[in-house]
Amino acid sequence: MTTTQKNQAPKPTGYARLVLADGTVFAGHGLGATGESVGELCFNTAMTGQQEILADPSYAGQIVCFTFPHVGNVGTNDEDEEASCDAAMRAATGMVMRADMTAPANYRSTAHFAGWMARRGIIGISGVDTRAITRRIRESGMPMAVIAHSETDDFDLEALKDQARNAPSMEGRELAAGVMSSENADWSIGDWDWEGGNAAGSTDGPLVVVLDYGVKANILRRLVSAGAQVKVVSGKASAADILALMPDGVVVSNGPGDPAATGTYALDAIRGVIDAGIPVLGICLGHQMLALALGGKTLKMPQGHHGANHPVKNHETGQVEIVSMNHGFAVDVSSLPDDAVETHVSLFDGSNCGFRLTSRPVMSVQHHPEASPGPQDSYAVFDRFVASLAKETA
């Protein structure tokens, strides 16, 4: 099959339904994989990066409704993958959009978005009122839902309503185990560049061990480009396993689900690393679990933060950073220990978006500093972290 054929827009061939837990039904055209899938329905305000969003392991167990009407315009390519598709629950379970997909118009595209979705098992629906869905979520919170795609218009709506109504809430769900690595692996691929593709990694930089709870590939690329040697280990590794690798620094990665549920098996290892004096950086779920490991608390958010245009105030620099976010839980800043300093705060709702400890080399951010939603405001998080490790080992 030629690249041109791969990029051709398939005509909608099926029917789809989005059924919410309260019984509301949205009818539209089906695309991507066929079948049924259950998930927490959230909305995402990003205008670009849909491939990265749906492939982000942090979205496991969720159906993403894009507020931007056009999805798939740039197609897909292997270089922008955030996670492999050979593991269960490695991406969002469904996608909702307003307009039907058109053929991509980007020189880097190698496959149409709908075909990419089908290969990953992501069910899509188009032709629905995404503004109505977004308003509902803003007013009532993120509901559980079922998304279904069939070649025939013969859905058992009552069964779908029951399925959505009985679906377990995201609160209390442990999902990281389904997306994390099972074995240690070295990572040596850096950022993608317009001229040279992906950069090669350092062979003599500080060693950063990444605890994988569903880590995005771009976090690993950013660490490599900042000058680190990177080793990825399972989020179920013990403190002894991690310290045996003699890391100069540890990153606690992003991931899906309720941090308190993942923390039932992860917090002891994180505490062990902190107590050993190893510099630690937490990102997203990792930020929340660091807070829990230090005795703090996390809260379920009604609608969460999902998008690429979120303003975050950096108290350390005085600057406002425009960042990407994807989280449905937040750190209760009042529950953090006395040696914790709030470094970042959301200018949307004032929720905590980062802290550091004054007594130990621990820092974390709620947003995704590896993402570049136009600006690259938060790339400095990795540069500062790796630079601090280089000083430690000098």
Q: Does 368 qualify as catalytic in the annotation?
A: yes
Q: Which tens digits make up the pLDDT trace of 44-87?
A: 999 989 999 999 999 999 999 999 998 999 899 988 888 865 54
Spot the catalytic one: 42, 65, 284, 353. 284
Residue spans of the domains in the chain: they are 3-165, 176-393
Q: Which two tokens stand for residue 52?
A: 């990265």
What kind of architecture, by CATH, is found in domain 176-393? 3-Layer(aba) Sandwich (3.40)
pLDDT greater than 80 at residue 183: yes
- What are the E-state strand segments in the chain? 14-20, 25-32, 35-44, 62-66, 94-96, 123-126, 144-150, 185-187, 189-193, 197-200, 207-212, 229-234, 249-252, 280-283, 297-314, 320-332, 340-346, 352-357, 362-365
pLDDT at site 222: 94
Q: Does 79 qualify as catalytic in the annotation?
A: no
> Which helix (H) or strand (E) is 118 found in, with range?
helix 113-120
Which residues face 200 on adjacent strands? 189
What kind of architecture, by CATH, is found in domain 3-165? 3-Layer(bba) Sandwich (3.50)
Spot the catalytic one: 149, 310, 344, 368. 368
Give the pLDDT mean for 172-196: 88
pLDDT at site 79: 83
Q: Which two tokens stand for residue 223?
A: 């660490």
pLDDT at site 267: 98
**The model's pTM:** 0.94
Q: Which tens digits make up the pLDDT trace of 217-262?
A: 999 999 999 999 999 999 999 999 999 999 999 999 999 999 999 9
Q: Which tens digits make up the pLDDT trace of 95-120?
A: 999 999 888 988 989 999 999 999 99
Q: Does 370 qualify as catalytic in the annotation?
A: yes
Question: Residue holding tokens 């270089």?
Answer: 79
Nearest to 83 by CA among 101, 60, 64, 114: 60
